[in-house]
Structure 1
């Protein structure tokens, strides 16, 4: 069987971007597909309304409705990824569909904490810090969680400058390791996906990109079904 035939048999995964930025969707789909290889076919869906980048709790909460509407209205997907680090609408969507649904924050934290590792988060959005902290506790990972290290400056401007973003996140990762004692660090954000991929190779401890982590978690869940 040729590659096209093999891909035709692969499960289709829907990556839902709660932001309205289609370029971000395309970038996240590319990262997810690279991780999935021929084992899955990743397709993207972008929120029709909302903000181009979720920066605070109000925007995060508002995006949940779009996530649920997209996911519940989709047909033929074997699994879904909620591709924003606050996991908006994750639990509601799980209650509406019969396929596995994973979130970036959940997947990243669970992978980082594997084997009892202490882990932290490096991200760009201070207004979402409380939500991220709460997620660690809700997952039962509070005793392993070393906290958040934030990049300085405006998050949207930073994401618009890939070189500066990578440098700023590298500094945050270094602080999480050196000052907080993190044994693994999750990069906290879907739009930070390219920077996360670059940083995976720069540190002795695991630096976890949440998009590949979500693909790996989804693959395990599909195997268990």
Structure 2
């Protein structure tokens, strides 16, 4: 049995359960995904300060966890907080959901990112450049209004993301759309059949990339 550990860098255990369930559905037979939640920080990483707290929480969690039974670790927040730093602390491969989603989208051509966290746009765009996808990034598009408020109304959240994704396609003619956010995993899953271009779901993308990097635990 191959085990992956999904690390939620925010403190919302319901979000952890949702993302772990989606990751498990994306995993092939014989792979088990287990979720764990940051012990400190914020329930939603929607600004740079909270993203930085999430990075610290990921580093602390990875450093304090015996990872010898896992073939890989998924960092499940779209800013990939703590990913680079935590890689130095363990031999177990770490994969970020933004890293994985951007790689899949870039392989398809030009892509857009649709997300709710406007204050994190500079961080997201910096990740695009860091991962080498700047030439294929057609833009980061934001839903209107406050992200935290939008997250409290699932129907409104889904409608806002769909509307923004359709606007992004009209403006850019992109070949793929990333729904940028770990807590947005369920909406990404729901939107996929409604679009003619691929909707890239970051959590399943991370499972696929993590398994391609997986090691055999001792």
TM-score, normalized by the shorter chain, greater than 0.5: yes
Please point out which of 167, 170, 179 is paired with 2:171. 179
The aligned runs of 1:115-194 (5 Å cut-off) are 115=108, 117-194=109-186
Query: Which residue is 1:97 aligned to?
Result: 90
The separation in 2 between residues aligned to 1:86 and 1:100, in whole angstroms, is 18
The separation in 2 between residues aligned to 1:60 and 1:33, in whole angstroms, is 25
Query: Which residue is 2:81 aligned to?
Result: 88
Unaligned runs of 5+ in 2: none
Say whether the 8 Å CA contact 2:8–2:37 is kept in structure 1. yes
TM-score normalised over the length of structure 1: 0.92
The aligned runs of 1:59-74 (5 Å cut-off) are 59-74=50-65
Moved runs in structure 1, 4+ residues, more than 3 A? none
Query: Which residue is 1:197 aligned to?
Result: 189
Matched length:
215
- CA drift of 1:28 comes to 0.4
TM-score normalised over the length of structure 2: 0.95
Query: Which residue is 1:78 aligned to?
Result: 71
Greater length-normalized contact order (CA 8 Å, ≥ 6 residues apart):
2
The separation in 2 between residues aligned to 1:19 and 1:64, in whole angstroms, is 9
The separation in 1 between residues aligned to 2:104 and 2:7, in whole angstroms, is 21
The separation in 2 between residues aligned to 1:41 and 1:191, in whole angstroms, is 20
Q: Deviations over 1:24-56 (max 9, x none)?
A: 000000000010142311111111111100001
- CA drift of 1:73 comes to 2.2
RMSD: 1.5
Query: Which residue is 1:42 aligned to?
Result: 33
Say whether the 8 Å CA contact 2:72–2:215 is kept in structure 1. no
Unaligned runs of 5+ in 1: 1-9
Moved more, 138-147 or 153-162: 153-162
Say whether the 8 Å CA contact 2:7–2:75 is kept in structure 1. yes
